[in-house]
Amino acid sequence: MFTPVNQVRLTNVAIVRLKKKGKRFEIACYKNKVMSWRNKIEKDIDEVLQSHSVFSNVSKGTLAKGKDLQKVFGSTDQTAICKLILATGQLQVSQKERKFEAESKLRDIATTIAEMCINTDNNLPFPVEVIQTAMKDVKFSLKPNRSAKQQALDLIPELKQELPIARAQMRVRVAIPEAKAKDIKKKIEPMVATLEKEDWEFDYEMVARIDPGAYRGIVDAVAAGTRGKGTVDILDCKVQDNVKTLE
């Protein structure tokens, strides 16, 4: 089949589109590589671009005109323009792909909440399905450009309208130089929910469970009292694995 010289046919492609100064420009990428490039996971541009050409329409295989590239980008350097479109353009996805991605992200948000929270009536974690139902009840609106964890943290207060839910306690290790230990311990003890272990050999070390809202106060107290020489490490911020899920 004859293909005009200004047309290139590509298959199994992810399209990134940029509209600028009344013109449409597109680049052809490998599926699943666009976000890897944007997240700086993939660094080889040849692993991202199916072609170093700039198109006006990838689906039709129509290449962008050189005069349009010069007018809009001030250059005809195809690779440089591809990188610009890759960074600032809009990734085109089909309705089916968009639906799958949305459902997957909603599931991720619900799973994150289930891992981070407990039912305050019985101190047990919620099944993911219960969280998903509550998300629908509060009419949660997915934000595609925000991470699942960010949206989960924002959503927890809203879910309190439907569920007896609260963040699970965090497990932390606090280490304080011996000379400052007694004074700082007195300051942070009211913020500790459960003291699991403490060790006075050499420097003072404490392993404890705390409410998430107390974390910043403990960090600030240790930092101020030790001039940055003490540490507060998060050991676990999820529901304990040995607790059975309430069905």
pLDDT band, residue 32 (cuts 50/70/90): confident
As a dihedral over the C-alpha atoms of residue 126, residue 191, residue 222, residue 231, rounded to 10 degrees, the angle is -30
What integer pLDDT is reported at residue 237 of this predicted model? 72
pTM above 0.75, yes or no: no
Sequence-ordered strand ranges (E) for the chain: 13-20, 23-30, 55-57, 62-63, 90-92, 117-119, 165-167, 170-176, 194-199, 204-210, 231-236
**What is the token pair recorded at 155?**
């959503």
Task: Give the whole-angstrom CA distance, residue 242 versus residue 227.
Answer: 37
First-last CA distance in the chain: 61
Helix pair 178-188, 215-226: axis angle to 10 deg: 150
What integer pLDDT is reported at residue 7 of this predicted model? 57
From 237, 240, 243, 242, select the one nearest 156 (Cα to Cα): 237
Model confidence over 176-230: pLDDT tens digits?
Answer: 998 889 999 999 999 998 899 999 988 899 999 988 888 899 999 999 999 888 9
Model confidence over 108-124: pLDDT tens digits?
Answer: 999 999 988 989 898 88
